Amino acid sequence: MRAVVRPPGLGLRERVHALADGRLENDWKAAIESLDLLRAVGMKARREIDAEFDRLRRALAAPPLLIDPVAEQVLVVSQDAGLRAGLRQALQSAGHAVVEAATPAAATKILQVQGSRVVVLDWADGSEMTALCRSLRQEQGPRVYLLALSRGMDEHSVLSALDAGANDVLSAPVLPQMLIAKIQTGARATRVLAAAEVERSHSQRTQRSLELRNAELLQAAGTDELTGLGNRRALDGYLPMTFAQALSEGHPLACLMFDLDEFKVINDRLGHDVGDQALRAVGLVLRQQSRGMDFVARVGGEEFIMLCPQTGEEAALRIAERIRLAIAAPQPDLPLLSVSVGVAVGAAGYPDAASLIRAADQALLQA
């Protein structure tokens, strides 16, 4: 009787037999076959790895292809039909689309409709061509590539073309290879610039969106969710600045503290929904009765505060009374509401903003 034992991780198809008498017998033939198979597999893997490394070496050794062809629509402006035909043939052979205009006026109309980013100008056509070149450069800036063709290539022609805004000047008749190289360079530059402008526009939109979102978050952080008024955080940010300004300018700053009377009774008897509705009603009156320069916040469960810059005691008392009467007016679906009001006027006479708030709170307790 024999049992087959395969030690884990051996990797060879070696069979070791345990005989009935306890002797071991190695199947050397099977072992040799396994070794041959392993060597064959290893040699194949080695060849594949070598081939991959060779491919990578060739890819790394080869310089990047920088002069990739760029298909572009090219506008050719010339009164010379023969010159236009020659340029058209050369440019189309390089994969460019060609639009022709016999006059600068015709070129202007074409550009208004099609907006070519590469324009070839026959500089022999005189002052109108100079005016077109200058106009295109002023209107489109670097977003258009302007190539001037000069028959004489004299110093005056070259300088006048460059001064009018041409990117480059070529001698006519044109060597096709030179023409195509210039057009490729110009087309690539305008496309890179166009892509950069799109990216910049996208970045600006993203920036504006983030700024708007941040402003919304800041506003939400300083807004009481129930009433839409400012909250304690907003008050803490607004009060010190307003107090310091009033103190430095010598203007009075009135602090009005409001407390909704019997708020706990409203909640207990009529429910929290009615209590919330009452708070919203008080907040609405405060917002409607406040001036543009006033600051209004809900700072506690049923407590509200109004800061009134440049407001003396008499004016503050009139504002408080007007608000009290407006809140007391009957409102649908609500019990009659009333508020207690405490008024304090600074900033002179108070060491800091917090003391002004404490004075208004103390006046509220005595109301």
At 46 the pLDDT is 60
pLDDT score, position 125: 80
Full DSSP string of 279-305 = HHHHHHHHHHHS-TT-EEEE-SSSEEE
Name the residue with higher pLDDT: 4 or 143. 143
Architecture label for domain 232-366: 2-Layer Sandwich (3.30)
- Report the pLDDT averaged over residues 148-176: 87
pTM of the model: 0.47
Q: What are the structural domain ranges in the chain? A: 3-61, 73-194, 232-366
Extract the tokens encoding 354: 């917090």
Q: pLDDT per residue over 269-317, tens digit each?
A: 999 999 999 999 999 999 999 999 999 999 989 999 999 999 999 999 9
Read off φ and ψ for residue 343, nearest 5 degrees: -125, 135
What is the CATH class of 73-194?
alpha beta
- The values of phi and psi at residue 143, to 5°, are -75, -5
Which of the four pLDDT bands, split at 50, 70 and 90, describes residue 29?
Answer: low
Neighbours of 256 (CB within 10 A): 27
Distance CA 133, CA 17 (A): 95
Interval 85-102 mean pLDDT? 92
Q: What is the set of active-site residues?
A: 302
Query: How does pLDDT run across 32-41, given as a tens digit for each residue?
Result: 555 555 455 5
